[in-house]
Amino acid sequence: MAELSPPTSAQAAPSSDQDGSVGVSSGQATAAIASIERLRRHRVRRPHPTGLGHVVSAIRREASKQRKNRGGLSEVWDEIVPASLSSRTRIDSVRSGVVRLVIADPSTRYEVDAFLRGGGLQELRLRAGQPIRQVRCVIGSLEASRLER
């Protein structure tokens, strides 16, 4: 059997205190614990709300954001579009210069497309008060979206 020799200066042996703890003094341990507690206080995440209030406020925020984005664009649309088309269309949203227009049926879409190509898009761009890159036509329900109710 091989005999174990005491550690040399190249092999540092862990120090032991009288109470049996190995490696660090009580002052170092206290400082380390305090440092960990300080970090823990900064890293703790706030608890998420569990009620429905935050859901309702998020829906309201989104609805007001949609209304703000459309701004007066719905009124401008109703002014420049013929009455027969206005009643069968509605502006759903405006994002990054793209107007999403909801249209009742394919025949109305054809009429809206002809209107836009015939100068309606240019008139809308002039009177909108915000940059419009494109009008995207989508066939769908003309009821107001859930967020607007």
User: 139 by DSSP, 3-state: which?
Assistant: strand
Q: How many domains does the chain have?
A: 1
Q: What is the chain's length?
A: 149
User: Model confidence over 80-105: pLDDT tens digits?
Assistant: 999 989 889 988 888 888 999 999 99
**What CATH number is given to the structural domain containing 81?**
3.30.300.180
Is 90 part of a structural domain of the chain? yes
pLDDT for 26:
84
Is 115 part of a structural domain of the chain? yes
In this predicted structure, the answer to whether residue 2 has a pLDDT above a threshold of 60 is no
Is 141 part of a structural domain of the chain? yes
Residues of the domain holding 111: 72-148
Q: From CA 123, how far away is CA 139, in angstroms rounded? A: 23
91, 100 Cβ separation under 8 angstroms: yes
User: Model confidence over 3-28: pLDDT tens digits?
Assistant: 555 555 444 445 555 555 556 688 88
